Structure 1
Amino acid sequence: MIAFEEYQRLVSPLRVFAVITLTPLPALIVVLLLAAIPLQSPLLSATENPTYFIQSWLSFSVITFGMLLYMRCALALPLTVYSHQQCALISLLTAGANELVMFVISVVWRFPIPLRDYVGAPSYTAFFIFFHILVLRGKLRHFYYRIREYLPLYFAQVSTFFVFEGVAILFRNSPVWVKTFITISYPVLRAVLRRIFGFSTLYQLAFVLEKYWMSVQGKFVGSFTLIFVLNIVHQGTDLSLQFNWGQILKRPPCSQ
């Protein structure tokens, strides 16, 4: 608290603004690069949309990697038990295997898969657990109680992924007056919250970011945590904005 009081007294508002604005910039660039991968028309077949599955694989790999780094820090797992390389390998394998399942479903059933992230959640979870067992080979059994206590929080974090997509689809299919109300009320709500919590909360955020980002570990984990959060927003809104689910659901199964 003493350090924060000194920080609040000495640091200018311009520096606070710069810290809050520039900190998520690298993560935002990564998300924009993923979003820049060109996609074909969703009216074409799954076999004619290879970049869609490549983009999805890379995006879910980054999401999983960021989530694993965040989980590892929350569980205080040492690098000797759970290294960066193992996190990356599990992320690539989990996302890749799940993408193959989604490709098969797209070919057999329909493309794009309606509410794909909900359909793919069971297989993703299964691969997530399987590749942890395969790569780590029992190293986590000594941390069983920590993991068990963390599981409710993990499922709460993962649920935000589905919340974003649900809200985006609801927004897309809402009447114009509902969209207008949401669009207008959101900045008003933010302004009210800022007034309630006060300007000092911005200093608190900047203080935490600066102190945490001083270490190499903090820069690395923090950046990928931001990528994880931003990718959740992107994945949760992108498909519902690109594809008109109302029209797609009217198409007969397996029509390409």
Structure 2
Amino acid sequence: MGTTGSGDERAGGLVDDRALLGRTSTAERVADILRTRIAEGFFPPGTRLSEDGIGGALGVSRNTLREAFRLLTRERLLVHELNRGVFVRVPAVDDVVDIYRTRRLVECAVVHDLGEPPFALDGLVRAVGEGERDARKGDWTGVSTANIHFHRELVALAGSDRTDELMRGVLAELRLVFHLVDDARALHKPYLRRNREILDALQAGERTRAEQLLVAYLDDSREQLVRVYTQVFEGGREAGTG
């Protein structure tokens, strides 16, 4: 399960992100870049992160990078293994359950408290369009990314930097789970329609219906993902003892 090789070859793609650091290269900004890259699937679970490769790509010091690693370790996105280095974490089944508990608390509360329509839905419209376009191309990794974008934009409707920050970490951790599931098409296809239904309800100003759709969506998604992810872990244990 997961990629265990070095992330040196992936670090080169971070050169494009150097401009995001601005004039001051802080650990928080580095952590934000790496968190986003993890959420986009750029660094899969089990990937070893090279200090030299990533530090060189972003143009930051070793100390700054190590502090960024520590921040992301506290967010359960990375893990430090003694004498081996820093790796992108492989979540456990219990993590999946807790991720969905957090999502249900936050996402449903955001929709419940939206107030009166119309709502600022441009980000949701783009995310739904991205997912449907990628599905037509058979790009299920892209569909997974669009799904993360959809829920990130949904939470952004609260207009809260704190909530956005919380959910960036939660959704990045969720992406690690998605990456370990083999059949991405089966996992994500049913929720393309359900994303569209939630968007349609919000566009119609039907906040209560959107909340009901979201509750059912998250409960069904949690049940499906826990079932599939449990099979992944059981398969991994069997492979290790075979």
TM class by shorter chain equals: under 0.3
The higher radius of gyration belongs to 1
Which has more helix, going by share of residues? Answer: 1
The two structures have a TM-score, normalised by structure 2, of 0.26
The two structures have a TM-score, normalised by structure 1, of 0.25
